[in-house]
Each structure stands twice: as C-alpha cells, then as structure tokens.
Amino acid sequence: MTEFLANLPLAPVPDDLTIPQFVFDHKHPLRPARGDVPFFINDATGHKVSEKEAFRRTHALANGLSRRWDVGDKDVVCIYSPNHIDYPILIWAVHRLGGVITGSNPAYTVEELIHQLKLTQTTIVFTLPPLLGIVTAACKAVGIPLERIVLLDSVSGTSHVSVDQLVEDGLKNKLNFTEKKLAPGEAKTKVAFFSLSSGTTGPPKAVAVSHFNVVSNVLQMTTHNLGAELAAGVPPEKRRFRVGDVLTGVLPFFHIYGLVMGIHQMIFTGTTVVIMPKFAWPDFLESVVRHRITSLVVVPPMIVLLTKHPLVKKYDLSHVHFCYSGAAPLSGPLIAELAKVIPNADIGQGYGMTETATAVTLTEPLLKVGSSGSAGILLPGVKMRIVKADGSLARNNEPGELFVHSPSNALRYHQNPKATAETFIDGWVRTGDEAIITDNGELFIVDRLKELIKVRGFQVAPAELEGHLLEHADVADACVVGVPDDFSGEIPFAFVTLRAPAATRAASSVNEANAIRADIYKHVADVKTKYKWLDGGIEFIDVIPKNPSGKLLRRLLRDKAKEIRAAVVAKAEAKAKL
C-alpha cells in the first residue's frame, strides 16, 4: 500500500479548546508574543483593534447575545456580509456561547440565501443595512423572526438592533452565561462552522467544520513554516511569518481560505489583518501601499492583475516579503512576472478545500519561489493516497484521484448522508481531483476529474491549456471547457478575456478579431498535441466568472459554449445544404 506522508511531525494540537479559547486563552509553545501588535485594522478608517479590545468586544457581544436571545449550542448564526471589522468578533462571541457560525456570500440572491438558512437551520442573521432587503425576504420565507436580524453597522430609523448596541448591553450588565469547558477530545466533534461548498455541481452543501479542524490547520501551517525555519536557523526577521507583519484581509471570510488562513493563521503568528470589505482594483494597490502591507494571501485572478495591469508600475511594492496563492495553480511565466512585481517576496502556493478546512499542502518554507504548477509539499499530520482508475494505489509520478487524511478534515456534509458517504470515507476525504506526487514529494493537481475533456478517448486537462493561454501576450484570463463533437466526442473550447490593447483591436473590426483568434489558436497548436487544439472555438468574453475562492465556474461557461457550438454547427449544416 502506497501512502504519502509529511516530512515534519505535527506540533501538539489541543483537543479540548474552542477556537476563541485557543485564540485568547491558550499559550501554545509555537505562538510568538505579539506585544502591542494590533489584531486588525479597518482599511477604510485606519482604526486599529488591539488584542485587548478584541477580547473585550468578543466577551461583551457574547453577553449581549446571551441576554437578548439566550444564544447557545442550539443556535446557528448566519453572517450575510462582506468582510467587516466585527466579523471575527462575532465568530468568536458565538463560539464562546457554544453556537455555530455559517458565513454567507453577500452576493447571494434571496433564493440562494433561503437555501442556506434552511439547510443550516439558522436562528439569527447578521448583515449590513444595504443588504437588509434580501435578508428580510429570506428570513420571512424560512420563518426567522425579523427581530432576529442584527446590523453590523448602526443606522438610524430602523428597529433592528446593532452589534454596537449588543456590545453596550453586554458591557453594562452582569454576566449572563457560563462558558463551556470542553472535555478531552470534544473539540474534534463540536461543530464550529457550517461552511458552504462551492456549489459548482448542484446546490451548495454545508460542510461541518469542527473547532479542532481549524486549530489543527493553524498549527499545521505554523509547524510547516516555523519548524523548518527553526531547524535551519533562520532568524526571526527573515522568517515567512514575522511578528508585526501586515496582511491583506481581502479574501472573503465566509470562505474557508479567508476564514482559516486569512484570520486565524495570521492572528496566531503575530500578524495584523487589514480588513477590506471586498477586492476592488485599484483600491487594493492603494491599501497595500498605505498600510505598508508585507503579506499577500490571494487567488490567481488577483495575481493576473498584479502582473499584467499597467497601473501596478506606479506603486512601490518592495515592502511585500511574502505572497501565497491558492485555488488554482500558477504557471511558470506568471510566477516569473510576479517575482518582478514583488522582488523581495517569497512566493508560494497551496492546495486545500472546504472539506479539508483548509490547506493540506504548501510550498516548501525555505524556497523563495515554488515550482511552476506545484501545490507544494504535505503539511505536518497529512497523509495522501493517489488512487488509480482500477482502484490500486499509485506510486510517485503516477496520476490518479487524490484522497486526503488530515486532522483538519471536516466532519461531514450537514443533513446530507449520501454526499457524506461519497466524500468522507473512514477518515479520508475523496477530493475529486486528479493529481500526482513527484519523487521530491510535491503535489501537482492535474484537474478536476469531472472537468477533464475526453477527445477521442484522450484526456485533456483544461488547467494545462489555460496556463498556456495565459502566456499569450494578448490574453488576460482564460477558461477551457469541452463541447460535444460528433467525431471526437468532445473538443476543447476556450473563453478568453483579452488585455485592453487587444480588446480595442478586436472591437475595431471583425477581421482584426478573427486575426487575434487565429494567433491564439496557433499559440496552442504550435506546442500541444493535436487533440488539445482549440477546435471547438475561441470566444472573447469580458470577464471569466469565478466563485469567491477564485475557482472557475466552468459549468456556466460549459453551457454557454454548447449553445455557441450548436449555433455554429447548425449554420455550417444549413450552408452545406444550399
């Protein structure tokens, strides 16, 4: 039996603590003393939240929630909001009371929010005033009393209570709750979050993530980096995570990537998180410079902008010393371009998913730049199997489906035993990703198994073609899907977002647009085997749709590609009959 194991042992993980107890009360040997380094900075106002203020506000909000609604183990609290300075405070306050948090995408429609509220059996919803209409409609539909809608920002002329009012009530009144102390091992089963999966194949599923899962992953990432650095004698001022670092808190906190790495990992390592409501270009660049941000935790679409947008040349980013990217692999040329933009930064990649809460591989800590396309090496405590199509276990460099065993693996899909049985198997998570592990222990994701394009029996990985398309001078972004073909079964079809000069040329005439398509086609045909050529077509599109974690929404584009291809075939057939 072939199993791949991490190089480093995992530091001890407490199994009797809730997340806020780990954040505020526990003195783990790997946790550095942060001194007066703030927890958070409000990007817009510059307001700094110290550790002391975060503790005080968390405790007061917990008391206010307990006094008003007796929030406890029975309650699931939904946060329907972009990133907010009180988002982590609310998480920790609900956890102090034993409740569960489910973060919701603030771009959800009423119907999508109704699905989440029903699925998670939410009892209270926190939101912002501009989103109140959607929340009100969803709460009415599922029977949540409207007085249980709480506003993260105070506003006049409303009957809804605000977080500030709950905090004030909690501060001026005696303690109304007794925080539960967990028994040994209880943190492994006590649910902290219902985090929704990406939902690219059917309705989103609620992944039950325990307190132990999050604490484990924080310590896995810390052990991975700090353990190797300590062994190599790297001084504190040269380490990947340094006390006093400043991070872009732009990844959405409702997503597992932003939730675990963007908040909890960074707080543990002594970093200050600059909380940004959403990613907006060029405000992002302004923020990086204004706050002297040292650490970027981002997704590939942000890196595409950093490397290809002309505005970047106006900003000095030399103070950035660390950049992590997740959700999709970075090509070699893109990494090389990024290294020019942030020349003093270590550049790393990782792999994880909601079901593994979150990262299970990261770039080796002592490498300045990770290998092209590599998701890094296994984190401490992680085991992996690569299962071939015949059910046997692959060896190094052999492709197959990736299975992951990690202390961070989530518990189950909430109220979905069928999907749970398919994905959570005897402590392993079946990822649905095709991967290989090389001789030096690096993980490479070939592609989602269900997204592979079958051309005359040959498998074509969209990610391979997309990485190559990004190397074309006119291409800013790309997504490749399969479209039906009578002869080959499927053939590749590319959606391409052009860089501004090329887009202008394409818009000037049909001939110019066709010339650009021909050049892109040749760019692939010159270096790829024939069954990988873009014979399905090339369609220009303004924006490639992605979910909040940066993953391509292939299902949407696959349906659109089928329509376009069908229209082209029908036109050709009609012309042939004339």
Residue extents of the structural domains in the chain: 4-14+208-449, 50-181, 452-577
Which helix (H) or strand (E) segment is 512 a member of? helix 510-525
* Contact indicator for 379, 406 with CB cutoff of 8 Å: yes
For 305, the token pair is: 């902008």
Rounded CA-CA distance 510/439 in Å is: 49
426: amino acid identity, one letter:
D
What long-range pairs does 149-154 form, CB within 8 A, spacing at least 24?
A: 149/124, 149/125, 150/124, 150/125, 150/126, 151/126, 151/127, 152/81, 152/84, 152/86, 152/87, 152/90, 152/126, 152/127, 152/128, 153/84, 153/128, 153/129
Q: Is residue 417's pLDDT more than 80?
A: yes
Torsion angle of the four alpha carbons 564, 570, 571, 577, in this order, in degrees rounded to the nearest 10 = 170
CA angle 64, 68, 71 (to 5 degrees): 80
CB atoms within 10 A of CB 577: 5
For 428, the token pair is: 């392993």
Rounded CA-CA distance 165/159 in Å is: 12
* Contact indicator for 262, 251 with CB cutoff of 8 Å: yes
In terms of C-beta density within 10 A (0-12 exposed, 13-18 middle, 19 or more buried), how is residue 363 classed? buried
DSSP string, 15-31: SS--HHIIIII---TTP
CATH architecture of 452-577: 2-Layer Sandwich (3.30)
pLDDT above 70 as % of the chain = 96
For 188, the token pair is: 């492994």
Secondary structure letter of residue 404 according to DSSP: E
Q: How confident is the model at residue 199 (pLDDT cuts 50, 70, 90)?
A: very low
DSSP string, 198-223: --SSSS--EEEEEHHHHHHHHHHHHI
User: Where do the DSSP E strands lie in 53-133?
Assistant: 76-80, 100-104, 124-127
pLDDT in tens, 526-560: 888 788 899 999 999 999 998 766 778 887 898 89
* Contact indicator for 54, 275 with CB cutoff of 8 Å: no
CATH architecture of 4-14+208-449: 3-Layer(aba) Sandwich (3.40)
* Same-fold call for 4-14+208-449 versus 50-181: yes
- Tell me the average pLDDT across 488-506: 93
Residue with tokens 């391979």: 464
Which of helix, strand or coil describes residue 476?
strand
Q: How confident is the model at residue 275 (pLDDT cuts 50, 70, 90)?
A: very high
23: amino acid identity, one letter:
V
**Residue 521 backbone phi and psi in degrees, to 5:** -60, -45
- Tell me the average pLDDT across 209-227: 97
3-state secondary structure 480-498: EEEEEECCCEEEEEEEEEE
Q: Is residue 445's pLDDT more than 90?
A: no
Return the pLDDT at 304: 82
* Contact indicator for 168, 91 with CB cutoff of 8 Å: no
**Residue 155 backbone phi and psi in degrees, to 5:** -150, 145
Task: Look at residues 3, 444, 4, 8 and name the one whose alpha carbon lies nearest to residue 222.
Answer: 8
* Contact indicator for 204, 196 with CB cutoff of 8 Å: yes
* Contact indicator for 356, 383 with CB cutoff of 8 Å: no
pLDDT in tens, 65-90: 999 999 999 899 999 999 999 999 99
Rounded CA-CA distance 310/288 in Å is: 16
For 189, the token pair is: 């089963």
Q: Is residue 201's pLDDT more than 50?
A: no
Task: Look at residues 227, 219, 223 and name the one whose alpha carbon lies nearest to residue 407.
Answer: 219
Return the pLDDT at 98: 97
pLDDT above 90 as % of the chain = 74
**Residue 420 backbone phi and psi in degrees, to 5:** -60, -45
Rounded CA-CA distance 427/293 in Å is: 38
Average pLDDT taken over every residue of the chain: 92
Rounded CA-CA distance 327/550 in Å is: 6
Q: Which residue has the higher pLDDT, 184 or 389?
A: 184
Q: How confident is the model at residue 577 (pLDDT cuts 50, 70, 90)?
A: low
Residue with tokens 């592990």: 437
Return the pLDDT at 280: 87
Rounded CA-CA distance 5/458 in Å is: 31
Range scoring the smallest mean pLDDT among 41-55, 348-362, 455-469, 512-526:
455-469
Which of helix, strand or coil describes residue 505?
helix
Burial 486-510 (b: 16+ CB within 10 A, else e): eebebbbbbbbbbbeebbeebeeee
Question: How do 206-210 and 191-196 pair as beta strands?
Answer: antiparallel
Beta pairing partners, 295 = 247, 322
Q: Is residue 457's pLDDT more than 70?
A: no
Torsion angle of the four alpha carbons 146, 147, 153, 158, in this order, in degrees rounded to the nearest 10 = 90
Q: Is residue 452's pLDDT more than 80?
A: no
pLDDT in tens, 102-161: 999 898 889 889 999 999 999 999 999 999 999 999 999 999 999 999 999 999 889 999
Q: Which fold has domain 50-181?
A: Rossmann fold (3.40.50)
